[in-house]
Amino acid sequence: MLLTDPFSPCWLWRSRHIQTIGPLLSPAHIAHGQWRQAVHKVKTGDATLVVYSHVQESRTAERDDVLLVHGMEGSSDSGYIVRLANAGLRHGFHVHRMNLRGCGESLRLNRLPYHAGLWRDILAVARQVKVGRRLFVAGFSLGGNMVLKMAGDLGEQMRQDVAAIATISAALDMARTDLWLRRNRLYEQYLLWHLVHSYRRRLRFYPHVYRGLLSRLPRHIGDFDDAVTGPLHGFASGSDYYERSSSATGLAKISVPTLLIHAEDDPLVPLSPYAEQQQLFSRSSLLHLLLVKHGGHVGFMGDSKSWWWADARVIAFFKTVQLGVTCYKN
């Protein structure tokens, strides 16, 4: 279903760059409330994933859970994760903030890092941290691709573990996202710096795994994935990794209610993969695309009435699923 929305940020911060960079400069902390925090170390295969859980103290078994998945080089402490966590807690959900392998406090615990198609880590966390009735999953950017890839690959099996999913600025096509970033060099170089920095940190902990993979500094993220991500995870190349890890081709197989939020002016993730799926979104009763003109990448700063607009849309969507509403209206 294609949704319309009145979101229109104040003209002072309508620029896609302000929308993208502004939230990064806004501090966020988990609010105090009637919930308790626990730290889990979820083990799955060769990975150990650190998860911060915030569980409501009253009517614990009657409530629902929300699992949050961060984007490239993010963590459970990323501002957008913490802000959505606070929104979920205010509305009575249990909230779980996971670190993808090699991110945040899981850096020293994992020999291999995350990648865009490694959704089995998310599923393992979902199964182990759930304390309430139903589980919802929200993913941002690359994490959004992972969540959608999981739903597409699992198909009908997804219903056994997840009630609904939502994504914000998800990268549906990894190859085209790489090409799009090359046209937005400031953002590409920012992400590339973080990737190389993480590589060097992992090299110190696991020299026998990482030594020699980067013989020279990569010019593009695609170069990094050719040299590091692809070989580490058994892909033939960076291109092979992108093709096998992108979520766009599996959207039609998703069997749970799904909300995708994206801005046309996103400087990190292209609009074209969304535009090509418009026919699918038009006829599907499960897939809801909320496409707005402004919002940047994981930005969507509104005004004093709805400051973090996308967070409110995600929580509203999950609450409609709680109520059994099949036709979502924003």
**Which CATH number belongs to the domain containing residue 297 in this structure?**
3.40.50.1820
Instruction: Tell me the two tokens of residue 149.
Output: 């890839």
Same domain for 75 and 210? no
Same domain for 113 and 98? yes
Cross-strand bridge partners of residue 168: 140, 261
Same domain for 52 and 104? yes
Strand 2-3 to 135-140 pairing: unpaired
Which structural domain range is residue 57 located in? 2-173+251-322
The pLDDT value given to residue 322? 87
Q: What is the pLDDT of residues 249-290, one digit of tens each?
A: 999 999 999 999 999 999 999 999 999 998 999 999 999 999
User: Residue 217: how many CB atoms within 10 A of its CB?
Assistant: 10
Domain count of the fold of the chain: 2
Same domain for 218 and 169? no
Q: What is the pLDDT of residues 28-77, one digit of tens each?
A: 999 999 999 999 999 998 899 999 999 999 999 999 999 999 999 999 99
User: Cα separation of 17 and 107, whole Å?
Assistant: 30
DSSP label of 74? -
Which H/E stretch holds residue 190? helix 185-205
Average pLDDT of the chain to the nearest whole number:
93
The pLDDT value given to residue 330? 47
Q: What is the pLDDT of residues 146-193, one digit of tens each?
A: 999 999 999 999 999 999 999 999 999 999 999 999 999 999 999 999
Same domain for 152 and 55? yes
Q: What is the pLDDT of residues 92-110, one digit of tens each?
A: 999 999 999 999 988 889 9
Same domain for 45 and 139? yes
Same domain for 217 and 163? no
Note the maximum CA span of the chain.
55
Same domain for 231 and 139? no
Complete DSSP assignment for 214-238: -SS--SSHHHHIIIIIHHHTT-SSH
284: left (phi over 0), alpha (psi -120 to 50) or beta: beta
Same domain for 285 and 139? yes
Same domain for 191 and 138? no
Structural domain contains residue 329:
no
DSSP label of 262? E
The pLDDT value given to residue 328? 52
